[in-house]
Amino acid sequence: MAQLGMVGVGAMGSSLLGRLRLAGLDVTVYDCDGAAQEKARSMGAQGVSSAAAVAEVSSIIDVVVRTNEEMLDCMLGEKGLLTGAKGGTLVLLHSTILPKTTKRVAEAAREKGVDVIDACMVGVPRVVQKGEVNFLVGGPAELVERARPHLLTMGKAVIHMGPLGAGNAAKLIKNLVTGSETLILHEAIKIGEACGIKYCDALAMMKRVYSDSLITHWEERFDPSGADSTPKVGFNLYDKDMPLAAQLGRETGVEIPITEQLVAAGLRLMKTKSTAS
């Protein structure tokens, strides 16, 4: 049976830990924050004094830190995980970080016979606690399959996105779309407010008339064969309606930098499509 370890037991890490403990599994943990470490102990985990100490007694290790710098420090730094890891250990990097950080860590780990894959989480702590988190994974297929049973103990799905770092990239582009939606909604409701529409009414209207997210029927807008990622565009939306919305924003004195950039991008896309045809 695999010996489980975890480095980083903050909000997300402790939620993963909770799933493992619910399954009756023993876990050795380390966190540089004393309060987080103590909370993990109260959940039944065995606390140790460093990431290296976790690695000394573990064969599968979940790493749940926040930033690229924290990942490099906990993996490669003094008393970092790789200073204590044994050959054959599998390390799962769950953090939302750059692919190049994962590749740097994996290269250093390879010299010690340690395997590393990225397994980014899609979900907030309450989602993780319910066992509904999705893992976007990058790495060799055989390592993904080795990790799959462990990951499914904590979440509901393991989606293999491609080679090492592909899980990182998938998480970042997913969050790019999520964050962008909020920002453009903010500009849109500001235009509405300038025209006398209460922003709650504007949002309620959009919820009522919205025809579902493009993501749920992307095959209608993008080539499903994989031959060309350029979207199919209709003329009214990009060359008339969006420019008119931007004009309305300017006329009402609203600052709409994202809208302006999107309108310009849409017009460039229309021009490219027109030239190609």
The answer to whether the CB of 10 falls within 8 A of the CB of 36 is: yes
Q: What is the pLDDT of residues 79-106, one digit of tens each?
A: 999 999 999 999 999 999 999 999 999 9
Task: Tell me the pLDDT of the chain averaged across its residues.
Answer: 95
Q: Are residues 143 and 176 in the same domain?
A: no
User: Which of 164, 184, 214 is where one domain is finished?
Assistant: 164
Q: Are residues 119 and 182 in the same domain?
A: no
- Phi and psi torsions of 265, nearest 5°: -65, -40
Q: DSSP assignment of 243-255, as one string?
A: HHHHHHHHHTT--
pLDDT at 2 over 70: yes
pLDDT band at 273 (very low <50, low <70, confident <90, very high): confident
> How many residues would you count in the chain?
277
Instruction: Burial-class residue 33 by CB neighbours within 10 Å (0-12, 13-18, 19+).
Output: exposed
Q: DSSP assignment of 81-99, as one string?
A: HHHHPPTT-EEEE-S---H
User: Which of 120, 146, 164 is where one domain is finished?
Assistant: 164
CATH (domain of 88): 3.40.50.720
Angle of the 141-154 helix axis to the 11-22 helix axis, nearest 10:
80
pLDDT at 254 over 80: yes
The answer to whether the CB of 173 falls within 8 A of the CB of 165 is: no
Q: DSSP assignment of 221-235, as one string?
A: TS-TTSS--SPP--H
Instruction: Say how far apart CA 168 and CA 102 lie, in whole Å.
Output: 8
If we measure between CA atoms, which residue out of 31, 33, 30 comes closest to residue 58? 30
Q: What is the pLDDT of residues 8-63, one digit of tens each?
A: 999 999 999 999 999 999 999 999 999 999 999 999 999 999 999 999 999 999 99
Q: What is the pLDDT of residues 223-243, one digit of tens each?
A: 999 998 988 877 688 999 999
**What would the mean pLDDT of 112-121 be, rounded to a whole number?**
98
**pLDDT, position 276:** 66
Where is average pLDDT lowest: 145-149, 168-172, 210-214? 210-214
> For residue 127, what are the domain limits?
4-164
Q: Are residues 8 and 85 in the same domain?
A: yes
How many domains does the structure of the chain reveal? 2
**pLDDT, position 215:** 86
User: Which of 102, 137, 164 is where one domain is finished?
Assistant: 164
**pLDDT, position 230:** 87
**pLDDT, position 233:** 76
Radius of gyration over every alpha carbon of the chain, rounded to an integer in angstroms: 23
